[in-house]
């Protein structure tokens, strides 16, 4: 095969020969990675690459992954501690709220009891004042009634004597003595 390119003219003679041999149908060479003559160099580079990769993983990647895991663990632990602290604060706030609520209820009960007692005392005091006022008015009324009754009775005695005297006069046709009629009326009233 005839190659006219500048590259082909400068190419190494062994590469051209190998190319011409394959093109002409000559011997087939093995694929270089599978060629046993290259195994030692391949094993050397495999070892160098593995050691370099192992060193990179051990010195660079694993510390970073370890740091990330440790940071994450610390963050989670910190968050759990914060949550526990916040729960304790919330529990303390609830306990304080319940205590204040109980105190407020006790104060409200105390105020209600005091107000009820004061209202009872005021009502009792007002009742006593009204009763005293009514007792005074009743006594005054009884005095007036007694005086009116006494005055009426006083007049009743004279009216009864006059009436008895008129009845005796009409029935008997004679006038009775005033002392007899007064004694009779007095005896009837008692």
Query: Residue 136 above 50 pLDDT?
Result: yes
pLDDT value of residue 95:
94
Q: If you average pLDDT over every residue of the chain, what do you get?
A: 82
Q: What is the CA radius of gyration of the chain?
A: 69
183 vs 79: which has the higher pLDDT: 79
Average pLDDT over residues 46-70: 95
pLDDT bin (cut points 50, 70, 90) of residue 148 is confident
pLDDT bin (cut points 50, 70, 90) of residue 26 is low
Coil, strand or helix at 116: helix
Q: How far is 157 from 181, CA to CA, in rounded Å? A: 10
Q: What are phi and psi of 182, to 5 degrees?
A: -65, -40
174 vs 44: which has the higher pLDDT: 44
Average pLDDT over residues 28-52: 88
| Cβ atoms of residues 179 and 164 within 8 Å | no
pTM, two decimal places:
0.38
Give the model confidence (pLDDT) of 93-121 as tens digits.
999 999 999 999 999 999 999 999 999 99
| Residue 186, token pair as written in the block | 């007095």
51 vs 143: which has the higher pLDDT: 51
pLDDT bin (cut points 50, 70, 90) of residue 16 is very low
Place of tokens 């003595």: 177
pLDDT value of residue 2:
44
- 89-127 burial, b if ≥16 CB within 10 A, otherwise e? eeeeeeeeeeeeeeeeeeeeeeeeeeeeeeeeeeeeeee
Alpha carbons within 13 A on the beta-carbon side of 168: 16
């Amino acid at each position: 095969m005839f190659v006219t390119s500048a590259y082909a003219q400068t190419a190494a003679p062994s590469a051209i020969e190998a190319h011409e041999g394959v093109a002409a149908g000559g011997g087939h060479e093995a694929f270089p990675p599978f060629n046993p003559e290259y195994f030692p160099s391949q094993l050397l580079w495999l070892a160098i690459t593995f050691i370099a990769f192992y060193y990179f993983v051990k010195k660079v990647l694993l510390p970073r992954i370890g740091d990330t895991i440790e940071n994450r663990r610390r963050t989670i632990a910190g968050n759990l501690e914060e949550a526990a602290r916040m729960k304790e604060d919330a529990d303390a706030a609830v306990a304080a709220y319940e205590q204040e609520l109980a105190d407020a209820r006790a104060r409200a009960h105390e105020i209600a009891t005091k107000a009820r007692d004061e209202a009872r005392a005021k009502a009792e005091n007002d009742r006593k004042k009204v009763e005293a006022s009514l007792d005074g008015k009743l006594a005054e009324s009884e005095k007036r009634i007694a005086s009116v009754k006494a005055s009426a009775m006083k007049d009743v005695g004279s009216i009864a004597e006059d009436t008895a005297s008129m009845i005796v006069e009409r029935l008997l046709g004679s006038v009775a003595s005033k002392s007899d009629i007064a004694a009779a009326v007095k005896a009837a009233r008692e």
